Amino acid sequence: MDFTIRAIRPEEYEALGDITARAYLDDGHLDFGEEDDYLHLLRDVARRVAEAEVLVAVDHAGTVLGGVTFARAGEKWADIARDGEAEFRMLAVAKDARGRGVGEALVRACVERAREIEGCPRMVLSTQSGMATAHRIYERMGFVRAPERDWRPIPDMDPLLAYSLEL
């Protein structure tokens, strides 16, 4: 790998916020585009760091390539994690860093982090139906669909698809 996965640093918050927002916007994952309320949450990395763990992928020059938010059940950023489980959200990779294994490395780091938690039986996540590239990563890593845990954060929204990985 020509990059490193580690905890984010304050001077990288803005870069990761921009990468995450651009990934969701440019890939068409925000129903209301620039007007989508979720966009603010995607950009607010400082808040995520205060309430969860945020990992980044950085190259040898220190350029942020992507990032992900990791949370345990009961924490503010855990949407579907149940007692003892871990969850990740907001996986995003800069457009010019895609195809280098950055997304998969970030997911692997989350799985490793979950395995470090005593008594954590599984890792879960929610994803949109249109995130096919991400689905391939999850399935290649052993995640399986958990349709009984699909959910809608907003009533009129298409359901988010749930995946889980037994640890």
What's the pLDDT tens digit per position in 101-152? 999 999 999 999 999 999 999 999 999 998 999 999 999 999 999 999 999 9
What is the distance between the alpha carbons of residues 164 and 147, in angstroms, rounded to a whole number? 10
pTM value surpassing 0.85: yes
Handedness of CA 143, 147, 151, 156 (dihedral sign): positive
Contacts with 158 (C-beta within 8 Å, 6 or more apart), sequence order: 128, 129, 152
